[in-house]
Structure 1
């Protein structure tokens, strides 16, 4: 017999996941009212749905902006989807705004994903890690393992998709985008972003 789920709990789960009301109610019933388990199960379903759509062409979308308090820093983000209809959805616009805010908050992020990092940047990071004093005298096999782990971590730190969402540290930006793919039923891609800092790179000589 299904347990009784309050409308408040259903609404809370919907806010957390973006899933439909009935899906949220069923997920809570299946999880015996446990919010965390329900969230996890919905995300699993949502991510599976999102992965199927990730290869579809996304040529519509919007460019959104975020200007930080004090107007000394701003961000532009281009977010793509498949149709103009989804581009006009409030959920899509909110995602674009959240992504712009995320870029503003993450000063060490310069690329959308690891695939976007130029090879010369990767080579530079490998060179820096290879020359660190704490691994110079380690056996080659162990040294290579340490370097790989450090490089993987460093590259993730440079990419937007691998950052914990500033409004919910339990999920990554990659997961946030996939949740919206599942919610809106279209492929969604973060194409590019640009951060502007007042006075940056000014030649004061």
Structure 2
């Protein structure tokens, strides 16, 4: 009777584990088969774990119940809550505050005031009384006063929109029409943004 050793079993295991490394074709084939198996397990596992009662709460599924005589039918509770609001209602419009309009006009006057030789610091100090700190120390520090295409105001300011505590004011210059956003702060009305109006 022959003596059984682990040498034969080890050789079989070595051949099985070593097969994918024999050639690139074997390796690619092994990876493809492994990906297919993992995908199938990922699809089938949630369906196998799911309990029968969980399908009733899913959208698109209908809850059906069967009752036998003498057995109480299950009670289905439905909610009639209103849908959640995902957007804020638009703010109500308000009458324009003339102080805000005045600040917008004075800000555009200071913005357009950039004689030859003025430094950026001098130009910013002219805007400081009418501008919020965030806007003054942020976006306005990147502006070169020599590139501003206006030198003076040539028309009266027009309020394009006004809500409580904020308004947009259009001011015509000898260059573009400028739209200034002013907000009510503790020190008073201050400019927080400006763009070229259409």
Which TM-score band (shorter chain)? under 0.3
Query: If the length of structure 2 is used for normalisation, what is the TM-score?
Result: 0.25
Between structures 1 and 2, the one with greater helix share: 1
CA radius of gyration, larger in: 2
Q: Which structure's relative contact order is higher, taking Cα pairs within 8 Å and 6+ residues apart?
A: 1
Q: TM-score, normalised by structure 1?
A: 0.25
